[in-house]
Each structure stands twice: as structure tokens, then as C-alpha cells.
Structure 1
Amino acid sequence: MTIPTKKLNNSVTESSKLPSQQNSAQNTLVLLLAKRSIFRNTRRTLLTVLLISCSLAAILFTDAFVRGMVETMVKISTQTFLGEGQIHRVGFRETNDVDLYIEDTTTLYQQLNSIVEIEAFSPRVLTGAMTSSSENVASAIVYGVDAIKEAQVSKLKLALVQGDYLSGIDGEIIIGEQLADLLEISLGDRLVVTVSEAHAGDLSQALFRVSGLFRFNERSMDIGMTFINLSQAQKLLNINGVHEIALRLQNLDQANDKSLGLWQTFNNDIIETLSWQELIPQLSSMLAMTKYSTLIVSIIMYILVCLGLINTMFMSIFERQTEFGILLAIGTRPKQLFYQIMLEGFFIGVLSVTAGLFMAFIFCYWGSIVGIDYSELEMSGMTLNEPIYLILDVSSFASMALATLAVTLLASLYPAFHAAALQPSFAMRKTL
């Protein structure tokens, strides 16, 4: 009997499609079983999701907090008084010798005004001094500053709590509240400042009237610093120059960019220009170490995630060993069980990441608006006198979410391999 060619071709085509259709049906069944299995024990699944999501939220909160703390500490250090950079005569910072001052200031000021990266600068004269009132005596550092330029660089003017800012008239002095308490004086009282002149070393005195009291909320500044007008400080020390020029840059990141021309222009045999990292290296080192806190928290949290998820998956497998045994006995391949357990872990990971990102965004956004107040905390000699506002970073949210999902899949490997290695005869008689 002759079989028609068309019928034969159709039969061959249908038979060739059958395995692929079977695989597709089996994959769909595995996917459906995985979805149903994760909520077979709803309480256990929700607790696992809560563990993973809280871990992710804690990691992201820590990351946002560390970013905010680093920015706040740098901001306090640079904008309060230090500046993003400073210019000194070579050797001055090591000795604080009043003889080492910058003499040709006119040319230097012209160069500073021509550099676009510099937003503002403030020349300063500084020396150790003895301050004495009618009641007491105390040592302090006297800064001679240009009132207008200083207000553009530091927060001296904003830190005033009583009295008036410097106006350029000789005889004005601004002191800290704590120093005023030590000297037992108040606004308008007289104060004698005694310094050692440059070069000769002769003692020089001047009488001042307290025109203002400031409070930076940092003990070393509030009890150990005083400010007078630049011109009078130069007369008092008998110098025609400045000891320090504080720089305010257009962008804080420019302090790290040593390729900028200003770092080469103002570094030679006579003067040196240093960024804030070089001026306070202990703070820079501490901030570098602080950034590792996110990594440490992440490692701890991910270990907890792995252990929690492995425990959940194994409990689920032991409860369903008879079911797995029957599936294997009727022809289900071990790799399909492996994929089913991995899919269960994937679905739990997706739920956890979604919940964790939502929780992290709520807490981090709240922290970025309200801030966390650490006004009583002192770190490395610096008081955190401003709230720490958390900084949300989209790249961190994305990378941590993917890392969490990867960890859940990694933690599912061991239970999946265990399920795939079950023997049908053993699994069907092993029940809880």
C-alpha cells in the first residue's frame, strides 16, 4: 500500500514537534509548582521574606548613613573654618613660627583672583597670645582676618551669638563664649592681648574691647581662638604679610584633583598649598575606614540571609520528600526538581528585594529630610554640630538589590542539589 507523501511529511513534522512541546509543558508545570510551593507554608515564607528584606533595608540604610556622615564631617571640617585648601609659607605648619609669613601678597592675590576653581579666599595672620582681663588670664590663638573675605570662606560671622561682627576698626575683638566665661568678661569689656613680635621677639600689647561672642560648638575653637582685624594683627606682630590663606573652591571634589593648575602654581620653594585631606590626615584616614562599614554590614547580613534561606528551603524539602519521590517515580527528571527549587528561591528573592527596596527608600528618604542629630558626639576632636542627612544613591540601590537576589540564588543551590539527588524509593518512605 502506498502512503501519500503529504501525510507522511505531516506525521514526521508532528512527531518532531512532540519533544519540544513536552519540554515546554514540563517547564510550565515546574514554574507553576514553584509558584504554588512558596506559599504552601505562608507563615514561614513571609518570615523568610521579612528576614531578607530587613537585611537589604539595613544594608542600604547603612550605606546612605555612611555617605551622609562622610559628607557632613567633610562639610563641617572645611566650611566651618578650615577651607578646602590653605596656602602657607614652607615650614610654617611644622613650627608655627611667626617669622615664616608670605610677603608678596599683592601678586599672590592677583593670581588667586584669576583662577576659576577658587570661589573665594581669606588671608589670615595667626599667633599664640596671652589674653588677660581684670579677672583672669588665658592663652589663645589670635587670628587677624579680613572681615569681608573671611565671611566668604568660614562661618565666623554666622557663629556670632552676641554682639557685632568685625567692621575693620582697630580695637575690635571677637572671642568664644567659653573663653569669655574663663576670663570672666562679657560683651563690651576690655581685653589685653600680648604677643611676641616677629623677627625681634619683643613683646607687643594692645587693648581691645569685646565686640562679639561666637560659638562653633567645638571646645577647641570656642575656648582657644580669638579674632581681630587683619591690619591690626599685622601691626601687632610688625609684619607686612600673612601666615595663611584659606581657599574656598567651586567644588569640594576639586580638592582631590591634583591635576588642577592651582596645586602646581602655588607649590614651590617659598609657599605650599595643601588640600583639606593633607591638612587633617587623621580625618581623611578615618573617613576612608568608615566606608568599609557598609561592606562589613553587608557580609554579616548576607551570611544571615544565606543561613535563613537554606533553613527554609530544607524544611520545605523535608516536608515534600514523599511528593518528590512520587514525581521522580513517574518520570520527573532530577534536573527539573533542581530547577523547581531554584525557582522557589528566585521568587522568594524577588519578593524580598521588592519589599526591602520599599522599606529602605522610606527610611532613607525620611533620614534625608529630617536628618539624624549627633550634636553631642565628638569624633577625632570634631563635634558633629550639624545633623547627618542620609544620601540616597540609585546605583547602590540597584547593586545591592542584584547582590541580594544573587545571594538568594546562591543559598538555594545546596537545597536544590539535595532535592535533585533524592532516590524515589527512599523519598517515598521518608516522611515527617
Structure 2
Amino acid sequence: MKLRLPDGWTFVLRNIFRQRLRSAATLAAITLGVAGLILAGGFVQDIFVQLGEALIHSQTGHLQISRQGYREGGIRAPERYLIERPEQLQQEILAQPGAEMVLARLAFAGMINNGKRDLGIIGEGVEPSAEAVLGSFLRYIEGRPLADSDLDGIVLGQGVARSLGLKAGDRANLIISLPQGAVNTLDFEVVGIFQSFSKEFDARAVRIPLAAARSLMDTQSAHLMVVLLSRTEDTERAQASLREKLGPHGYEIASWHELSDFYDKTLELYDRQFGVLRLIILLMVLLSVVNSVNMTIFERTREFGTMLALGDRPGQVFRLILAESALIGLIGALLGIGFGCVCAWLISAIGIPMPPPPNANIGYTALIRLLPVDVVTAGAVGFVATCLAALLPARRASRVLIVDALRQGT
């Protein structure tokens, strides 16, 4: 059984292949436009994903749980927002679906002294082995990460180390004020200097073992429970579940993007830039198709005049031109989707070396991430743009005077 097109569409298809050069130019414009939209969208999507993963796996985790009000008032009075039994809370959180790991952190603010001068810092007591798993995006430019055996070890952000001229193996003193008014100090050995995705974080961040932080602050509590999930896509669902369970008990659950103003600003910056790029690509497709359709209609004016003279109605001419444009748009969209996906695969196989984003330390290798919704949307944009570009030329061709149309080209 042979597949046959309806007579009207057979005529449309013949018209398209009769104008081979013009049809090829139109198809090329649509194909390149759709492919450009796919590549631009996939590139932007990769930026968002990689930036988010860098923040999650260097600073915030997927979720952070603290006492209500800690994010606003924790720096001024951290003793008011302590989690008294962090081990018990840790077990409750791990019982939630998707929770892979829960880490306790004890935050403190104070001074670090290199023997000559002081620098204000924001410090954290962390669980070394667990943080090594979470902090996969932390890059140690000198020394090594903290280990469970480092009772007096400390790791510094790159900015802190540069400000004080400290290197791995040097000694430094941490000085903090306790809520009771006393001043406590401990001596540490610098075991590593790290670089995260954020310059601002590296300029003030230091980390010490949780046991040392508890000794320094004279408490067995914690300020934060950091949750690492199996999948970043489950963040909102896990956050809602934990809010329902822990919210009535005075806990606040914040997601990673709520904790990072840097991420939101960078996302907004790139979204605007590539929004303009998408608009430029769309306009290029529209202008290319309009020009091609106009030239095709100009060359076929006598043909349309003959059709009208033989009794075809203007609406039939209008629909014929639209049908030809729609078919070209459909073929071009499909070709663009195929070409864009192949290019995305090739580019991702090679990678695109990228410099650090604004206010960041670390560059990365960009990929093209293909999302089905973005791919289909790009194809739909190419198809709709082609149909829209044909409306005015088709209307003008269907209203041409028969005498003027037949005189065309003589």
C-alpha cells in the first residue's frame, strides 16, 4: 500500500520543489535559526545547572535547617539560635525520602591572627569527612582538606590566606567572644587553602573541625543542619516535606537558591543577555523568511493571476501560499531540531572552556544541555515564525488585480 498525499498537498509539495533554490534558502534560514535557539537555550541551561551545583557542593548543600530567625539575627546573637540536640534532628531528617546526608555546622564570628595582625572572619565548625563528600566543588590550591584526625587543623579561604600571608603549615590563632563576655582563643595549624565559586565567601571563610569549634564556643550544639539530597530536582519537594514536619517545632528550612543572592543575580544577568540573543535569532529567521517569501511571490505573480483568471478565489491563493510556507516551516523546524541536537552533542563532547562568572573564582567547562521542552519550543518558534512571515505577502498576492498580474514579466 503506497502512502499518498491529498491532491492539494501534492500540488503544494510540487511548488516547493519547483522553486528549489528559493526553498533551499528559506529552509537554511529556518534550520539555522531553530538550531541557534536550541544551542543558545542549552548553553544557558548549562550555566544555571553548573552554577547551582557549584554553590550546592561548595557552600550551602541543598537545604539548610536552623532555628527560626537565625538567618536574620544569628550573627548578632548566635547563642539564641542553637540546635540543642543536633544528632537527634539529624536522624529525623535522614528518615525523609531523598535525603542522602545530613551535616552539622557550628557557626562563629571572630578574628584570626597570624602573629602580626588580625582579620575579621566568618567561621564554621564542620564534620571533616562528611564535608569532603559535600564539598566536591571546593578546590584546594594549597595543602589538603580537613581530616577527622585534625584536632587543631584549619582551612582558609583564598582571600583570608592572601590577606594574612598564610600558607599551609603556618600557625594561626582564632579569637572569639563568648556570650558570657569572656574571650576564648585556640591555636591552629593551617592544613589547606581552598577556592570556592564565590570570591566573597573566600575572603572571609575559615573552617575548623566541629569538635574544635565546640570547644572554642563551649557548647555541644549546632547552628545549622545541612542536607544533601540524592537529586537537586527534589529540592522543592524535600523542602516542603521538612517544613511540614519541622516548621511547627520552630525550625526554618531554606533551599540553596534562597541562600545565595549571588546565584539569583548571576541567573538574572545571563537570562537577560541570552534573552536578547534569542530575540536576535528570531528576528533573523523572520526577516530571512519574509524576504524569501516576497521574492517567491514576486516571481510567481503571473501564476497567481492565471489561477484567479481561471476561476480560483483569492482565498484559495491565500491558503495555497500559507500551506507552502507552513510545509517549508515544518520541514525547516524538523531539520533545525536534528541539526541543533547533533551540534549540541558534538559541542558537549568537546566542551567550551568558560572564564569565571562575575564575582567568582573558578572557571568551568560548559556543555549544551538539551531539554525536551526547549527543543520542541525552538522548533515551534521556527514553524510559527515562518507562518507569520507569510501572512502579509500571501494577503497581498491574493488581492492582486488579474490584469496587473498577467502583465507581470511581459
TM-score category of the 2 structures, normalised to the smaller one: 0.7 to 0.9
Distance in structure 2 (CA, Å) of the matches to 1:112 and 1:192: 35
Q: 1:420 matched to which residue of 2?
A: 398
Contact 1:161 1:215 in 2 (8 A): no
CA deviations on 1:52-90 (whole Å, 9 max, x unpaired) are 222211211121112211111211111112111111122
Contact 2:197 2:360 in 1 (8 A): no
CA deviations on 1:341-388 (whole Å, 9 max, x unpaired) are 23432343244224422331233223333333333322xx44554333
Contact 1:69 1:390 in 2 (8 A): no
In the TM superposition, what is the alpha-carbon distance from 1:179 to its structure 2 partner? 2.4
Against the structure 1 CA distance between its residues 205 and 55, is the aligned structure 2 distance closer, same or farther, given a 3 Å change threshold?
same
Q: Which amino acid aligns with 1:305?
A: V
Q: Which amino acid aligns with 1:394?
A: P
Contact 2:214 2:220 in 1 (8 A): yes
Query: Where does the alignment leave 5 or more consecutive residues of structure 1 unmatched?
Result: 1-23
Q: Which amino acid aligns with 2:325?
A: G
In the TM superposition, what is the alpha-carbon distance from 1:234 to its structure 2 partner? 0.9
Distance in structure 1 (CA, Å) of the matches to 2:96 and 2:281: 48
Distance in structure 1 (CA, Å) of the matches to 2:214 and 2:351: 43
Distance in structure 2 (CA, Å) of the matches to 1:84 and 1:287: 17
The reply on whether 1:306 has 2:286 as its aligned counterpart is yes
Q: Which moved more, 1:150-159 or 1:114-123?
A: 150-159
Q: 1:17 matched to which residue of 2?
A: none
The reply on whether 1:402 has 2:380 as its aligned counterpart is yes
CA deviations on 1:283-331 (whole Å, 9 max, x unpaired) are 3476478667776655544344333323322222222323433443344
Q: 1:123 matched to which residue of 2?
A: 104
Q: Secondary structure of the residue that 2:237 maps to in structure 1?
A: coil
Q: Secondary structure of the residue that 2:54 maps to in structure 1?
A: helix
Q: Secondary structure of the residue that 1:115 maps to in structure 2?
A: coil
The reply on whether 1:216 has 2:196 as its aligned counterpart is yes
CA deviations on 1:133-187 (whole Å, 9 max, x unpaired) are 1344322222111112222322387636324633334221122344223222322
Q: Which amino acid aligns with 1:401?
A: G
Q: Secondary structure of the residue that 1:129 maps to in structure 2?
A: strand
Identity of aligned residues (%): 22
Against the structure 1 CA distance between its residues 69 and 384, is the aligned structure 2 distance closer, same or farther, given a 3 Å change threshold?
farther
In the TM superposition, what is the alpha-carbon distance from 1:430 to its structure 2 partner? 3.1
Contact 1:216 1:222 in 2 (8 A): yes
Q: Which amino acid aligns with 1:306?
A: L
Distance in structure 1 (CA, Å) of the matches to 2:190 and 2:269: 43
Q: Secondary structure of the residue that 1:279 maps to in structure 2?
A: coil
The reply on whether 1:252 has 2:194 as its aligned counterpart is no
Q: Which amino acid aligns with 1:251?
A: R
Q: Which has the higher Rg, Structure 1 or Structure 2?
A: 1
Contact 2:57 2:136 in 1 (8 A): yes
Contact 1:34 1:341 in 2 (8 A): no
1:16-415 alignment to 2 at 5 Å? 27=8, 30-31=11-12, 33-39=14-20, 42=21, 44-95=22-73, 96=75, 97-100=77-80, 101-155=82-136, 159=140, 161-163=142-144, 165-197=146-178, 199-216=179-196, 218-257=198-237, 260-268=240-248, 270-280=250-260, 283-284=263-264, 287=267, 297-378=277-358, 381-383=359-361, 385-415=363-393
Distance in structure 2 (CA, Å) of the matches to 1:387 and 1:341: 46
Q: Which amino acid aligns with 2:286?
A: C
Q: Secondary structure of the residue that 1:102 maps to in structure 2?
A: coil
Against the structure 1 CA distance between its residues 241 and 394, is the aligned structure 2 distance closer, same or farther, given a 3 Å change threshold?
same
In the TM superposition, what is the alpha-carbon distance from 1:394 to its structure 2 partner? 2.8
CA deviations on 1:10-34 (whole Å, 9 max, x unpaired) are xxxxxxxxxxxxxx87x47733651
Q: Which amino acid aligns with 2:341?
A: F
Against the structure 1 CA distance between its residues 227 and 32, is the aligned structure 2 distance closer, same or farther, given a 3 Å change threshold?
closer
Q: Secondary structure of the residue that 2:364 maps to in structure 1?
A: coil
Against the structure 1 CA distance between its residues 85 and 426, is the aligned structure 2 distance closer, same or farther, given a 3 Å change threshold?
same
Normalised by the size of structure 2, how large is the TM-score?
0.86
Q: Which amino acid aligns with 1:180?
A: A
Distance in structure 2 (CA, Å) of the matches to 1:276 and 1:306: 40
Q: Report the RMSD for the aligned CA atoms in angstroms.
A: 2.9
The count of residues paired between Structure 1 and Structure 2 equals: 402
Q: Which moved more, 1:121-130 or 1:144-153?
A: 144-153
Against the structure 1 CA distance between its residues 271 and 325, is the aligned structure 2 distance closer, same or farther, given a 3 Å change threshold?
closer
In the TM superposition, what is the alpha-carbon distance from 1:413 to its structure 2 partner? 2.7
Distance in structure 1 (CA, Å) of the matches to 2:109 and 2:188: 16
Distance in structure 2 (CA, Å) of the matches to 1:276 and 1:57: 33
Q: Secondary structure of the residue that 1:99 maps to in structure 2?
A: helix
Distance in structure 2 (CA, Å) of the matches to 1:184 and 1:112: 41
